[in-house]
Amino acid sequence: MVKKCPLCGSNEIRFLVKPYRGGSIYVCGSCGNATTYPLPVVSYLEDSFFDLPADEFNTYRTYAGQITDFISEHISKGSLLDIGTGAGFLLEAAQKRGFAATGIDPSGPAVSFCRTRKLKVLQGYFEKYAFKSRKFKIITCCHVLEHVTEPEKFIAKIKKILDRNGYLFLAQTNYQGTIPHLLGRFWEGWVPREHRYHFSPEGIEDLLLRNGMRIKVLDIIPLGYTAVWRKGNGPIIRGNIYNLLNYIISKFKIGFPFVGDQMYVLAEKL
């Protein structure tokens, strides 16, 4: 039985939905974030990483380009650390736009794959890595925070290694988007066996504020379903149907009200 929100400690917890892939989602009436029960255990295989089929590389490159364009629109270039960099597409895109980009990832194959393309990458878990006095102007976490065991400690460490005027960029799903409302338990963004937490725009603001960071820009956009679809995670055709649905919702502003199911968050230190 769920008693309190693991993120803010409130006991205003209520059942929200039972994703068809397992588990149950409970939402916190105080901070607005949601949690999966039972909490999935983070067990990344360090000798493996998201197995990207080569024919989807362009989709990921486009996504990484959109993110780095968004960052470039709001802040000037500098040193960048990408946490959970995986195949390093964000590093490539950031380098192209003039950032001095470094990635970190626990996966050996992911790190090797990055290094064969001359990308700078550290191997290890961000939580455990000793950065010593090294600091960064911007730290990016794309669809990472929902997997982390202790998001508060994670953000505290980010804050510590950010420059005084540094920024944190997060790309997260938004479980309060129109598509999750329409699809309920069938929304693929729940990923209940891997995602411990589910953030809302208000919830992410609350989490950041409680940890000494303030949102500078928050953009709510549709999730690119073909980009999140991996082989074995559902047919690409279904991803395309969601993309079409997202396009129609964006075009005609229909929804509860219209909101996308992904957010880009740029936060600065308080």
Q: Which residues are near Zn ion by CB under 5 A?
A: 5, 7-8, 10, 28, 30-31
Minimum CB separation of residue 262 from Zn ion in Å reads 21
Minimum CB separation of residue 269 from Zn ion in Å reads 23
Minimum CB separation of residue 32 from Zn ion in Å reads 7
Q: How far apart are CA 137 and CA 191, in angstroms?
A: 31
* Amino acid of residue 137: K
User: Toward Zn ion, which CB reaches closer, 13 or 110?
Assistant: 13
User: Toward Zn ion, which CB reaches closer, 10 or 240?
Assistant: 10
User: Toward Zn ion, which CB reaches closer, 7 or 87?
Assistant: 7
Minimum CB separation of residue 7 from Zn ion in Å reads 5
User: Toward Zn ion, which CB reaches closer, 114 or 155?
Assistant: 155
User: Toward Zn ion, which CB reaches closer, 17 or 31?
Assistant: 31
Minimum CB separation of residue 204 from Zn ion in Å reads 12
